[in-house]
Structure formats: C-alpha cells, structure tokens
A = this chain, B = another copy of it.
C-alpha cells in the first residue's frame, strides 16, 4: 500500500483543528482530492472533482478553502502560465518528495522531477545565505522552473 493511503483519521484533522478551523465536508473533499492525485489541479478541476461526491459544493468554497490551505502551508499554489492557479500538496506531506517543474511551452505538459534536486538544494542554500545577508531578506521559499519543448512537441 502506497504511503499516505492508509485510512483512519486523516493526517490533516489535527492541522485544521490546531489552527482553530472546523472540519467540514468541503474541506475534507478538497484535501482528499489533492491527496490522491499527482496532477496540478486548478480550482475549476478541483470543483468538478469534488462535485461528484458532494454536488452541493460551490466554486466559491473551493477558492476560499484553497486560500486557507495555502496560508496554512498545507498546499502550494503555482502559476504555470496558463492563466489559472494550480495547486498541489506541500512537500513533506503524504510522502511527497521535494520537486521542481519542467514545463512544455507548446502543450502545457508538466513534469515533476526530483532528480538533481540535491545538487540544487546545496546551491540554493548557499545562494539563500548570500542573498539574505546582502539584501537583508529572510528567505522562506524559492521557485525553480524549466521551460522547453517536450518530445512530442519537438517533432511538430
């Protein structure tokens, strides 16, 4: 059984309660969906998926819940240049490995890669230290993305 797929009280119950937030059906639904996919879903896609098991859900709630989860650090919000925000479970949760993204500028394909991340991490740590000192920033996060053409699109 894959990591993070076990049943029982969901790992996020404590996180929500600890933050003083209620455990509601929409929140459960959204976290369930994000836990089970490896895709980078948009609000609309999450809405459609959640709608199947809980038809009463509204798109507004999706947006509000996603904002909350981002703020709590449970999920990440990305902009891949296709005009809509996309979300994924934060690293470290559910056995998710830290990864970066490789994007096809022609078809929009997104590849998560975990290779080379160790080397990157080393450099990033140094860079963060240097930048922190020089510009007096407290760095909390970074974003790395590569853009190019995937195999299929190269042939067209």
A-side residues, CB < 8 A to B, are: 79, 81, 102, 104-105, 111, 113, 115-116, 119-120, 123, 126-128, 130-132, 134-151, 154
Integer count of this chain's copies in the complex: 2
A136 to B153, CA, bound (A): 10
A154 to B151, CA, bound (A): 45
> Chain B: which residue is nearest A134 at the CB level?
B115
Q: Are A119 and B123 in contact (CB under 8 A)?
A: yes
Q: Are B137 and A148 in contact (CB under 8 A)?
A: yes
Q: Are A147 and B151 in contact (CB under 8 A)?
A: no
A-B contact pairs, 23 of them (CB 8 A): A79-B81, A102-B131, A104-B137, A111-B135, A113-B131, A115-B130, A119-B123, A120-B127, A123-B123, A128-B146, A135-B150, A136-B154, A137-B148, A137-B149, A137-B150, A138-B154, A140-B147, A140-B149, A141-B146, A141-B147, A141-B148, A142-B144, A143-B143
